Structure 1
């Protein structure tokens, strides 16, 4: 049974508006949106100053299903005038387990659906979309709920869709330096699954998603990746991002097995309004990294 939203007032859990934000010049701003089972969030970047000046997060406090997201998204659009203004660019992040990467040399748009269906059972009522990962020299093919995608296409003239592998990977490759020997393993937590991306010597070595069915699944799969890729624990850094009810517990458990576990703050490469001190950077790391993934 779906969520009844006809009388639902969507109140943001966190809302930040810098005094320099100007509704008259939104056509010069970049808008980034993330929607998932955890909630709906958006941020606004002034690319002229490379500065984030707006942020808003709506937590879905009640348990929701994927089929509820279109209805909740529509309600947020109805109640937030900011999302009905025109923007220079609009980036949409829809986290998905149904994703695969194909090297640029092998990718053709006509074969994108075939590649994804070869690796996943794509759910019905999902559209298959793809985005280029320039620094990784690959294409990210992924599935998003059709109805949700249609809402964003109706709301914005030319939205760009992303899956989480892109901000997880491209932002790290952009700041990696040749000759740096430390291997980076990025873990992105979701409510019922997690993603692992491994970057070694400025190259993408692995990107994969794993379902969380039991309390030891994350540790098991993480250590399995260490073993399979023969990663040296003393020289491998784990960066833990994303949202999960047991985020802190998971971090402490990881620290029992891995020496270098970090919880990054706000993504580097941007300026932030002083108000962003209240934004948990690890939780919204992918959302706030989107603007650096697009040239």
Structure 2
């Protein structure tokens, strides 16, 4: 679906796989908007939130056939931004989340900024092409330490010098426990699906009990990891409810297969704090969950 797309996109060699842009959005209106960007090795996406009216106006997603690596994607970032509705826009605020697995959580009382590279090195191999960054997760009172790909960071800051960098997992974790719309005192299970990767989050009374990311290749893999986590935490899959976000539909084999193992699977709705343009009417509410909640960490 394409709605109100800028003519500039016609000259873009990388065409968006999804382009939803409200006709009311303009460069002049950008000064009252927040831009949320998400960058992975095979995709680039962004959404635009009108802060004055608390309403999402735009979302575009670009998929790359090959896994380019963050060095390779830096050139794609420049091409996309310079040929899209983002070009020459002066947004009021901007955040960008990095999608990869190199991140680790450290409780705030144990965190020392001078040692953040050591925390990350304990679990992952160093790379000269990455810096070490961190997000403070206020509702968790913890720090998420992660590798920040330097070339991707530089490419973004070429256009948006004041961009706030985040890790993708920070967005998922905080959105699972941010009050007031996560006020359940019982254990809650969240399953986020993207490409060949899934994230499982378990919370209880606004506290994080479990978070991990897994690679999957089949519907059986998804069920296995979910049931494994339930077993480790003493959760009965026939008694719990699992809230699902990401790109999955009820008619897909993955969803139908999960229903045979889990009593209740609920597709998440969009954050109720915001309104949404008519351009999102045909987009399922659980799609683009992270992009729609990323502003909450701003």
TM-score range, shorter chain: 0.7 to 0.9
* Residues 1:22 and 1:76: Cα distance change in structure 2 (over 3 Å): closer
1:257 to 261, 266, 269: 261
Residue range with higher mean Cα deviation, 240-249 or 279-288 = 240-249
Q: 1:78 offset after TM fit, Å?
A: 2.3
Match of 1:273 in 2: 277
TM-score (norm: length of structure 2): 0.86
Distance in 1 separating the partners of 2:190 and 2:143: 19
Q: CA RMSD in A?
A: 2.6
Contact 1:239–1:262, Cα closer than 8 Å, also in 2: yes
Residue range with higher mean Cα deviation, 271-280 or 14-23 = 14-23
Unaligned runs of 5+ in 1: 1-6
* Residues 1:247 and 1:100: Cα distance change in structure 2 (over 3 Å): farther
* Residues 1:28 and 1:194: Cα distance change in structure 2 (over 3 Å): same
Distance in 1 separating the partners of 2:221 and 2:125: 22
Contact 1:267–1:281, Cα closer than 8 Å, also in 2: no
* Residues 1:132 and 1:179: Cα distance change in structure 2 (over 3 Å): closer
Match of 1:223 in 2: 227
1:201 to 191, 200, 205: 205
Contact 2:27–2:88, Cα closer than 8 Å, also in 1: no
Distance in 1 separating the partners of 2:125 and 2:247: 25
Match of 2:73 in 1: 69
Q: 1:56 offset after TM fit, Å?
A: 1.8
Contact 1:40–1:59, Cα closer than 8 Å, also in 2: yes
1:129 aligns with 2:171: no
Match of 1:17 in 2: 21
* Residues 1:177 and 1:268: Cα distance change in structure 2 (over 3 Å): closer
Q: 1:149 offset after TM fit, Å?
A: 1.4
* Residues 1:135 and 1:249: Cα distance change in structure 2 (over 3 Å): same
Count of residues paired in the alignment? 287
Unaligned runs of 5+ in 2: 1-10
